[in-house]
Amino acid sequence: MTARELSFVHLFRPATIAGLPPVLLLHGTGGDETDLLGLGAAVAPGAALVSPRGQVLENGMPRFFRRLAEGVFDEADLRRRAGDLARFVDEARAAYGIDAPVALGFSNGANIAAAVRLLHPGLLSGAILLRGMVPLETPAAAARVPTPALLVSGERDPIVPAANAARLATMLEEAGGPVEHRVLPTSHGVTNADVEFAADWYARVASRPGASGTAS
């Protein structure tokens, strides 16, 4: 495990299997750079893992952007933080010699991943969004880039309304799909079913022609 001096505190785990897309791990509120390492290894065994720590603190808990209330985001801050994360991805690619990553985000991490996908098309090679919601009411118009995404929602999630999750799936499709939206009979936390769906989706993305875990 290595952690070079880049713009985000982070951990990097090199790939043990060549040719797999690297994974950008984005934790939820209160997590840190260690939080999703186990999930990343389960979803993408053998892939390189890049795991940054969110730079915003809410009551001492790391997040990737500010919010004004539960489910109400500071969109100006979100746009700026998405740009910061996009620059970190470029830094990590140069420092570690990896290709464009698949983002794997939970909750707040899923929301920043969705914002990066919408605001910085082409930066990510894919996105797995666990309990994600619409990050921006009016994202800036951007070029359509065919980036696959998996959105996994909870049917009984008290934080993400079903209509909001469905709207996010539509926004991602309009930005360039394909998008797979799964709804599980669960709440906001990650379940074994999330891991299984994410691992299956990642394996299908990794098997596409041109998918690679090395710099191109």
Residues 13-56: tens digit of each pLDDT: 999 999 999 999 999 999 999 999 999 999 999 999 999 999 99
* Percent of the chain's residues with pLDDT above 90: 85
* Cα 149 from Cα 156, distance rounded (Å): 22
How confident is residue 66, by pLDDT bands cut at 50, 70 and 90?
Answer: very high
pLDDT surpassing 80 at residue 3: no
Positions marked catalytic = 107, 157, 188
> What is the number of alpha carbons within 13 Å of residue 157 lying toward its C-beta?
23
The domains found in the chain, sorted by start residue, are 10-137+144-206 (3.40.50.1820)
* Cα 68 from Cα 23, distance rounded (Å): 29
Structure tokens given for 143: 């070029």
Structure tokens given for 50: 């890049």
State the pLDDT at residue 69.
86
